[in-house]
Amino acid sequence: MNLEGQLIAQRLRVLELIGEGGMGDVYLGRDETLNRDVALKVIRSEHRVKSGARQRFLREARILSQLDHPNICRIYDYLETTHFDILVLELIRGRPLSSLLDEAMSYAQSLDIAQQIAAALRAAHSQGVSHGDLKPENVMISAEGEVKVLDFGLAQSVNPDRFAPLGKIEALQDVRDLGPLAASSTLSLILSRGDSGGVSSSSSSSSDNRYILGTPRFMSPEQLQGQPATLASDMYSFGLMFYELFTGAPGYPLNLKLPELLERVEQAKVLPIQGIDKDLAELSTGLTQLEADQRPTAGESLRRLRMIHSKPARRFKLAMGILALFIVVGLTLKYFNDIENQRSVAVEALVEAESARTEAEEVVRFLTELLELSDPTSQGRDVTVRQLLDLSAERIDGELAEQPLTQARLMDTIGTIYRQLGLYEPSRDLLQEALDKRLRNLEANHPAIASSHHELGVLARREGRLAEAEESFQKSLNIREALEEGGGEPLAETINALAVLYAVQGRYPEAEESLLRSLEIRRQALGERDPEVAATLHNLGTLLSLMGQPDNAQLRLEESLEIREEQLGLDHPEVASTLYALAGLDRGAGRLDQAERRYRRVLTIQEEAFGPDHPNVAETVNALAVLEAMREQYPEASELFRRSLAMRRQLFGERHPAVAEVLHNLGNIAALEGRTEEAEPLLRQALELFEEHLGEDHPQVGDVLLSLANYARENRTSTEARPLYDRALEIYSEALGADSPQVQTVRSEIEQLSEGITLASGP
């Protein structure tokens, strides 16, 4: 039935037929009420009576209504008439990507298209929606180069309650009857596994048959196995499109018979990619991994593409930064050899701290003389950052005795660097002296005094002195609120720091409220792509993870990582920090191999930046130990835990919460390995330290109580276990809410405990 010329719903004029598909036709239409051209996707009458086809049509409408993104075709309306159903869609004027692939595209054009497809997938995946049939025919490119992803008719949702399932597949086809062209068509197939374990065609109705719906040439291995399309399935399909975008050839050999192609698909035997940028090749290979959990996500793929796109600009930015450093301190390259990188970090941080014009000359003179003294050509030895800092701290009092505020600035900066290097005792001395000098020489509400309180608060939080940290942050906040009147980056900095403290204390609602306030201020003051915005996004993502919201946490952390990699470079310690948090989400979701890859990358960055004995290194070693424990590699886990414990005791002393964390982990390992004489004392020590530093109602106290309850159930009696479970349940419910995963875990343990008691007391 041709609808050209008809008026539908008293406002949609059907102008001409512009496309034909398997289920229906697509017309150019005109919305006469809104005065705009539209695309009208009409389900044919013969398909309308088939519930599966019509159901997919309606699902596409519902899914598109949830996705509002410039790279996804928008839906305007869904109409049901007596004889047909219609999707009223955004009209995309352009060409399908499949036709562009037949032409020679520039590297820049291919990279731009890949980024836009990845952005569309990230938007869909953030709503839990997988496309299910991603291929070049379903991607349109406008004359201006704008990408639009179309046809969500086979889309799936990770939340089965949001959209109805696809329903029964109609019109199954036998692969023996299909030629090479079928590889790029959306097909309904019935497949069975042959005796050899490979894919074979079948027309039988055996229960071993797999019913699949999709496009063989762009299908993921798991879809061919008969599993529903997932977010990772889309990434495999994207990987095959990506391959063609940058090589001009398909990822599988041409002219394969369909059964041969399906065998390759099932084993993910994509042709090796050659002749392109190394980073692009690594991404392409990652996207087409056989194991779904090893493929990059849409957000990660988009970040990596943007990094590849910005490589020349980032190199230029880095070069200009180094040049500016030399100009500021009045030095030439003759003073720098093998220790250039170490020394420039310290000098740049010191110089940046000096913004007051009246003090700048004194600071430059001080630094120049200091570097001349530390020059290995004059001393006959290499000089480390620690030695340079120590020498700086020793000379401040004598060199700048008549400049107390300049002294305070340098002390504050050097103290901050000590803290970042994990050297807390010299940091504390310098930061406190800087505050004392400022209190003696400045008005009580001066911004520099607020800065000193802030830095002392960060140090106190790192050392586990949480009450002191909160007092310092509050003093800084009071000054900055009065000065900034509710806005400005310094205020956002302290609000952010307080939020981190609240999170450590288990005060999650207060932490979330503060982080959202800090994020709003920073975006207004600094812009969307500033590293400080990324810092708040990182903290928010970490908090959401603690609150049992992994999907929301993932989105915030990926946004933070994207900004940090773009602005700071791939090997910056702050990039490592966000990678660490994302690895934790991977670990929690059971993606252990991906988590390990991220942790290893984090460890490499940290050891290069800080050396092997830094607190962050100890934390990552502990995380790798947890990973080995989850794999039930208990000896390896114990070895890593003990390494982390020794590092933390050396850094923080015996009674720090960071020590308690490792003691808790070691206690759990001992219990799992049946070393009961070790397990309980370790867990009790951890509990005592957490209660001492964090309070009796902190979620980490609940964690240890849960471990002790499990230990008591297995090795003592249910009577001893029950009050421990009850107390853990009370802590989790109060701190995290009744619906948190931790609460559900404890309730499940209590139910099992009750069942065991009932059985034991039966006849």
Active site residues: 133
Half-sphere CA count of 386, side-chain side, radius 13 A: 10
Q: What are phi and psi of 351, to 5 degrees?
A: -65, -40
Burial of 165 (0-12, 13-18, 19+ CB in 10 A): exposed
Pairing of strands 139-142, 156-157: unpaired
CB 1, CB 54: distance < 8 Å: no
Measured distance CA(35)–CA(16) in Å, rounded? 17
CB 468, CB 460: distance < 8 Å: yes
Q: What are phi and psi of 146, to 5 degrees?
A: -80, 135
Pairing of strands 85-90, 36-43: antiparallel
Pairing of strands 147-149, 187-193: unpaired
Measured distance CA(438)–CA(432) in Å, rounded? 10
Q: Cα-atom radius of gyration of the chain, to the nearest Å?
A: 31
How far are the Cα atoms of 124, 525, 528 from residue 560, in angstroms, in the given order?
19, 17, 11
How far are the Cα atoms of 127, 133, 282, 439, 699 from residue 436, in angstroms, in the given order?
52, 66, 53, 5, 37
Pairing of strands 85-90, 7-8: unpaired
Which residues have a Cβ under 8 Å from the Cβ of 465 and sit 6 or more positions away?
none
Closest by alpha carbon to 66, among 159, 199, 194?
159
**Residue 189 parent element (H or E):** strand 187-193
CB 574, CB 564: distance < 8 Å: yes
CB 637, CB 629: distance < 8 Å: yes
Burial of 556 (0-12, 13-18, 19+ CB in 10 A): buried
Q: What are phi and psi of 101, to 5 degrees?
A: -65, -20
Measured distance CA(307)–CA(569) in Å, rounded? 9
Closest by alpha carbon to 626, among 587, 594, 571, 578?
587
First vs last C-alpha separation in the chain: 75
Q: Where are the beta strands (DSSP E) in 208-254?
A: 210-214
Residue found by looking up tokens 């009092």 in the block? 397
Measured distance CA(89)–CA(559) in Å, rounded? 30
Measured distance CA(12)–CA(15) in Å, rounded? 9
